[in-house]
Structure formats: structure tokens, C-alpha cells
């Protein structure tokens, strides 16, 4: 029998059960009615990845996104994915084994960390909304610390909207997915361009998906 994992953020859904980790991609596809498969490809394309880019993926999970990004890369380009889960590390190893320039490091992203390399792009997908704001600030600082001058921080997550003003169907879907994560409701209220400006990001590009409820926010340093 699997023992329950201790959760640091009980009001969040960012910490998965072992069952959730094992079947993560399947659950994402089911909960989004297959929409995730479509828009993640568009989001990766919108990142304008260059063949030689070095990319840091914060909270990389199963490596599904990294495999999509790796298709745009050539040597000396590469991807480093960070995650704390042993199960995600196993998923990542299987999915990305054909890419020699994609690697996994077991590391928490909600605590300060230092790697020996600077990156052209830092990417985070549907992770940062699941943390309290003080922890989000640590994650942003980790991105800043590891970005090259002129690099970009790419946040794929919910956009900004009023949950009470959107159509019933979309409100129901959001509540179904994030109902137990109080931080997600806080995330959609914040002006993220203004917040990122405080960390030295000077300009932004936005790409929207799923009726503008999801956004790839690219912040330029």
C-alpha cells in the first residue's frame, strides 16, 4: 500500500498524490477533454525557440512539454527539466530518452537554488498558480537568477479574468479543475506584467488560448 505524502501546501493541487503522478498526463487529457494536447503545441511554437537555445523548465513533470520543445533544438541547444518527484523523473526518462540534449535534475523550484548554467529561456507550465504569492516570488527570482541577459521567462498558465463574470460553462470547468486550490483563484486576479516588471522584465508578449482563459506570457529581460 502506498503511504500518503506529506503536503507543504494543503490548499493547493500542485502537490500530487502518487496516483496522480503516475497517471498525470492521462488525467490532464481527460480533465481538459483533450484540449491540452492541442494548445500546448501552439504554445511551444509561440515561444519562438531557436535551434541553439538553452531552456530551463521549472516543474517539468513527465517531460511531455520538453519533448515538444526539443524538436526545435539542435546542438548546442538543450533543455534542463527540474522536478522533485521520483515518479516524474521516471516518466521524464522514458519520454525524453531519444533526446540526448534533454536532462532531468531532481530539485525543488519553490526554494532558492543555483545551477552552474544560464539559460536563454525559462519555462513554467501550469505550476506557479498553485503556490502562495510569497513562494511564487521565490520561483520568479529563481528564473531571473538563471536567465541570460536578453533571455525570456515564459509562463504558460491561466490568464487574468473575473471568475464570477465568465460564462457558466467555463466557470464550472475552472471550479472543477481548481476547486480545491485557493491559490488559483488568487492567481487570476493579479496583474502579472506589473509584478514581473518589479524583477527587471521590460517588455512582454501575450499569446492566448482556450477563449483567452489560458495565456503564454513571455517576459523579456
User: How confident is residue 16, by pLDDT bands cut at 50, 70 and 90?
Assistant: low
Flag whether the pTM goes above 0.95. no
Q: Does residue 66 register a pLDDT over 80?
A: yes
Name the residue range of residue 208's domain.
Answer: 18-40+52-154+169-220
pLDDT at 19: 56
Say if 63 falls within a structural domain.
Answer: yes
pLDDT at 1: 31
Compute the average pLDDT of residues 107-124. 97
Q: State how far the Cα of 45 lies from the Cα of 26, in Å rounded to an integer.
A: 23
pLDDT at 29: 59
The per-residue pLDDT for range 172-201, each reduced to its tens digit, is 889 988 887 899 999 999 999 999 999 999
Say if 164 falls within a structural domain.
Answer: no
Mean pLDDT over the full length of the chain: 89
Say if 9 falls within a structural domain.
Answer: no
pLDDT at 160: 97
Say if 78 falls within a structural domain.
Answer: yes
The per-residue pLDDT for range 127-147, each reduced to its tens digit, is 999 999 999 999 999 999 999
Q: Does residue 167 register a pLDDT over 70?
A: yes
Say if 8 falls within a structural domain.
Answer: no
Q: Does residue 220 register a pLDDT over 80?
A: yes
Total domains, the chain: 1
User: How confident is residue 13, by pLDDT bands cut at 50, 70 and 90?
Assistant: low
pLDDT at 106: 96
Q: Does residue 3 register a pLDDT over 60?
A: no
User: How confident is residue 4, by pLDDT bands cut at 50, 70 and 90?
Assistant: very low
Say if 189 falls within a structural domain.
Answer: yes
Q: Does residue 2 register a pLDDT over 60?
A: no
Q: Kind of pairing, strands 147-158 and 203-209?
A: unpaired
- Percent of the chain residues topping a pLDDT of 70: 87
Compute the average pLDDT of residues 18-25. 58
CATH number at residue 209: 3.40.50.150
Q: Does residue 11 register a pLDDT over 80?
A: no
Say if 113 falls within a structural domain.
Answer: yes
Say if 163 falls within a structural domain.
Answer: no
pLDDT at 27: 67
Amino acid at each position: 500500500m502506498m503511504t500518503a505524502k506529506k503536503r507543504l501546501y494543503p490548499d493547493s493541487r500542485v502537490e500530487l498524490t502518487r496516483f496522480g503522478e503516475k497517471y498525470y498526463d492521462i488525467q490532464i487529457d481527460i480533465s481538459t477533454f483533450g484540449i491540452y494536447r492541442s494548445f500546448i503545441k501552439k504554445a511551444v511554437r509561440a515561444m519562438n525557440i531557436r535551434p541553439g537555445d538553452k531552456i530551463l523548465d521549472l516543474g517539468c513533470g513527465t517531460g511531455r512539454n520538453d519533448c515538444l520543445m526539443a524538436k526545435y533544438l539542435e546542438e548546442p541547444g538543450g533543455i534542463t527539466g527540474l522536478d522533485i518527484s521520483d515518479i516524474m523523473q521516471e516518466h521524464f526518462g522514458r519520454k525524453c530518452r531519444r533526446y540526448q540534449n534533454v536532462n532531468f535534475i531532481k530539485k525543488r523550484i519553490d526554494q532558492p537554488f543555483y545551477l552552474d548554467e544560464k539559460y536563454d529561456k525559462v519555462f513554467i507550465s501550469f505550476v506557479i498558480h498553485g503556490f502562495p504569492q510569497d513562494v511564487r516570488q521565490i520561483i520568479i527570482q529563481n528564473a531571473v537568477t538563471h536567465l541570460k541577459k536578453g533571455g525570456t521567462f515564459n509562463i504558460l498558465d491561466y490568464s487574468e479574468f473575473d471568475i464570477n463574470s465568465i460564462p457558466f460553462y467555463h466557470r464550472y470547468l475552472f471550479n472543477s479543475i481548481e476547486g480545491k486550490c485557493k491559490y488559483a483563484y488568487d492567481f487570476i486576479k493579479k496583474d502579472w506584467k506589473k509584478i514581473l516588471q518589479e524583477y527587471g522584465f521590460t517588455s512582454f508578449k501575450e499569446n492566448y488560448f482556450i477563449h483567452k482563459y489560458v495565456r503564454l506570457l513571455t517576459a523579456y529581460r
